[in-house]
Amino acid sequence: MKKVYLDNNATTMVDPEAYEAMQPFFCEKYGNPNSLHDYGSQISPYLRKAMDQLYDGLGAGDMDDIVITSCATESNNWVLKGIYFDKIVTGEKNHIITTSVEHPAVGHTCSFLERLGVKVTRLDVNSDGLINPDDLKNAIDDKTALVSIMWANNETGAIFPIKELAGIAHERGVLFHTDAVQAVGKIKVNVIDAGVDFLSFSAHKFHGPKGVGGLYIKNSQKLTPLLHGGEHMGGRRSGTLNVPYIVAMGKALDIANKFLTFEDSHVRRLRDKLEDALLEIPDVTVVGKREHRTPNTILASIKGVEGEAMLWDLNKAGIAASTGSACASETLESNPIMEAIGASDDLAHTALRLSLSRFNTEEEIDYAIEEIKKAVVRLRSISSSFAYAPKGYKSGL
């Protein structure tokens, strides 16, 4: 059976070169980089190279900090909780602004802070999944400590105008954080050009390993640590450094940035081909305009086809996709992003997210198109919410 992986916004395959790069650091060069003996000190040049790759890859300057974390969930928690300790517990500020479509690593952390008394404003999005920058202007007040807005959405692929939004926050003297997990490696990300104060990233979304990520901190500014301990990373984030993964992350970012043009041409063309084929099916809609989305992402709703049922059929055909919904064993919840963009309950249950990578081939996309069409025919034929057969429906679309 063919196997086609179209769930690259969930995680990606490790690039073989990045995988290769980390191998020596398990059984050969396994010293703790903080140790004073040769086992430790021989690691330094490799770590330095990886850090240089990260600084170059994100466009960071010498005065900035990039601090390694275990994942973007940690980076996001760190920024929000660090600001809480630095500016809110002190009584100086009490307000954080974010959007209604953030990943739970931001959304749930904000809800936790709300329970501690922080005022949180969640900006609504339009049907394309984007906010109105004027809403941000209007939401900022004298007590706003931080604006946290994602660079690209994990479900819709919607790209937020980060430079403009960071500018709005800065005009009012407010710090700006962006969760750039879904942007890094897919579109150009340059922290200095964007003017952000904090940026979260995660290796496993750009063909690096899982369990390693980082936080960019402009001008190495103060941010109370989330993890206290052995003073690693200059005391900013304690915990023994995961050398192999950091080496692989540096390599993966380097490669991903070299492939950005390819991402914008080859991956975009395959995505558009898949999207065009989906839109040929009656009663299918796709969220957001293509030019405002990352080149690899489609969030479609297929009337009458429950997202989970579609995933089941596709999985049987060897195709991995996602509904993006919180799927518990007993209750099937609808996709929260579909709800945030104002989709009806019916449509919110029919979300199908397809996310490509540079490793997908034309043959794979042709196969996926064929299998998706077959699944739509089968599932609509047994769907109680899709009681009528549109023209051409029985003929296999």
Q: Smallest gap, in angstroms, from Cβ of residue 78 to ligand PLP?
A: 12
CA dihedral of residues 222, 200, 82, 160 (deg, nearest 10):
100
DSSP codes, 46-114: HHHHHHHHHHHHHT--TTSEEEEES-HHHHHHHHHHHHIIIIITTSS--EEEEETT--HHHHHHHHHHH
> Quick check: 322 binds ligand PLP (CB under 6 A)?
no
For residue 97, the tally of other CB atoms under 10 A from its CB is 25
Q: Smallest gap, in angstroms, from Cβ of residue 97 to ligand PLP?
A: 17
> Quick check: 179 binds ligand PLP (CB under 6 A)?
yes
Number of residues that bind ligand PLP (CB under 6 A): 12
Smaller CB separation from ligand PLP, 12 or 360: 12
Nearest-angstrom CA–CA distance, 251 and 50: 7
- Give the dihedral sign, CA 127/131/133/135: positive
Smaller CB separation from ligand PLP, 105 or 305: 105
- Residue 85, token pair as written in the block: 């300790």
Q: Quick check: 212 and 68 in contact, CB under 8 A?
A: yes
Start-end of H helices in 195-332: 243-258, 260-262, 268-280, 307-316
> Quick check: 57 binds ligand PLP (CB under 6 A)?
no
> Quick check: 72 binds ligand PLP (CB under 6 A)?
yes
Smaller CB separation from ligand PLP, 206 or 386: 206
- Residue 229, token pair as written in the block: 């301990």
Q: Show contacts with ligand PLP in window 86-105 (CB under 6 A).
A: 103, 105
Q: For ligand PLP, which stretch binds (CB under 6 A), given 70-78, 80-88, 131-139, 269-277?
A: 70-78
> Quick check: 213 binds ligand PLP (CB under 6 A)?
yes
Smaller CB separation from ligand PLP, 61 or 211: 211
Q: Which of 290, 292, 228, 283 is nearest to 82 (CA)?
A: 228
Q: Show contacts with ligand PLP in window 138-177 (CB under 6 A).
A: 150, 154
> Quick check: 293 binds ligand PLP (CB under 6 A)?
no
Q: Show contacts with ligand PLP in window 184-203 (CB under 6 A).
A: 202
| Sheet containing strand 95-99, strands side by side | 65-69, 213-217, 198-202, 175-179, 144-148, 95-99, 119-123
Packing angle, helices 362-381 and 307-316, rounded to 10 = 130
**71 is annotated as an active-site residue:** no
> Quick check: 183 binds ligand PLP (CB under 6 A)?
no
The active-site residue out of 27, 71, 110, 327 is 327
Q: Smallest gap, in angstroms, from Cβ of residue 91 to ligand PLP?
A: 30
Catalytic residue numbers read 327
Judged by the rule CB under 6 A, the positions of this chain that interact with ligand PLP are 71-73, 103, 105, 150, 154, 179, 181-182, 202, 213
